[in-house]
Structure 1
Amino acid sequence: MIAQPLKPWLLVSVLLNVFLIGGVGGGLYHWKTSAAPAEAVVNQHGLRQAMVKLPPERRRELRQLLRHNRADSQPLVMAGREARLGVIKQLEAPTLDRDVLVAELAKAREADAALRALVDTTLAQFASGLPQEERQKLVEALYTRGQARAVGGKPRS
């Protein structure tokens, strides 16, 4: 007498469990077979992408050079940050002093340009010790949007 009303619930429970197990199993299978490497998932630009494309020993070398220059770059980073805070302060002020705003923007631009020059010098120092194949990888990583080909034509092989 009790078994009769339980049969539909048992059938629903079995079907639900089969469905859930199949869904979890299918999801795991899909995840395992189509998982992209972490490097490809992250949209990286500039030096980070260049580091991904370089061999591990070259990556370490570039990181060490950048860390070595960190002490020189900190004042430039702080100057740029302070100038941008000055820009924000001027833009939020009840009355805008255009001359002060232009001066703060110029300070930020100069600090950013000096920082970029320091990083570029470090990159040039690093690239001077690379063989031609690794320099080519560096070019491909740094100029991914076809800038090098648009300017210089076909890359040399």
Structure 2
Amino acid sequence: MSQSPQRLKRLLIASLLANVFLVGGVVGGLYQWSQHPRPAPAVVQHGLRQAIAHLPQERRHQLRQMLRETRADNQSLIMASRDAHRDVVQRLKAPSLDRDALDADLDRARTADITLRTRVDATLADFAASLPVEQRQVLADAMTARRQGKAANTAKD
């Protein structure tokens, strides 16, 4: 089954044209993609994340490190909170509701959550104490920006 040289030449030219077309499409797509600005992130950061974003790089790193250490030091508390929340869900899914056990699980979850929040807040306070006045002001403004926006929206309603 030998093909004529003329037919092979046509197939080679068709293949070459198809490849040039594909490469051109890829290059054109990459060019278009690189020329358009990236869209803003869909998730609006608020609270501590927004505050961290407004700090200088070295301070951001310092706060993140402090929060990582707090998380590592309180891993047992985090696990206790997860376990308590899981127990609450299981109690709610049970065919019969044991109200006393549910209340006890909710209390365990609440206590763990409050204790963890208190420790994170203490870490944030320690960090804020190390900041100069200007950076504390930036931190405070970033942390309250969302609340002030909500208050303004509530006042309009």
Does the alignment reach a TM-score above 0.5? yes
1:155 matched residue in structure 2: none
Partner of 1:27: 29
Mapping of 1:7-156 within 5 angstroms?
9-34=11-36, 36=38, 41=41, 43=43, 45-70=46-71, 72-139=73-140, 141-143=142-144, 146-149=146-149, 151=151
Distance 1:30 1:134, change over 3 A: farther
Per-residue CA deviation, residues 18-39 of structure 1 (Å, 9 max, x unaligned), is 22111221233234444649xx
Superposed displacement of residue 83, structure 1: 0.7
- Structure 1 counterpart of 2:31, which letter? Y
Letter in 1 for 2:93: E
| TM-score (ref. length: structure 2) | 0.70
Shift of 1:121: 1.9
What percent of counterpart residues are identical? 52
Q: Which string of whole-angstrom CA distances, capped at 9 and with x for unpartnered residues, describes residues 7-53 of structure 1? A: 6534432332122111221233234444649xx65845543443343
Counterpart code for 1:125 = D
Instruction: Tell me the distance in 2 between the aligned counterparts of 1:34 and 1:143.
Output: 33
Q: Which amino acid aligns with 2:26?
A: V
Structure 1: runs of 5 or more not aligned: 153-157
Unmatched segments (≥5 aa) in structure 2: 153-157
Deviation sequence 1:105-127 (CA, Å, 0-9, x none): 22212211221121122112212
RMSD over aligned Cα, in angstroms? 3.3
SS of 1:130's partner is coil
**Larger RCO (CA under 8 A, 6+ residues apart):** 2
TM-score, normalised relative to structure 1: 0.70
Question: How many corresponding residue pairs?
Answer: 149
Which SS does the other structure have where 2:96 is aligned?
coil
Q: CA–CA distance in 2 between the matches of 1:3 and 1:99?
A: 89
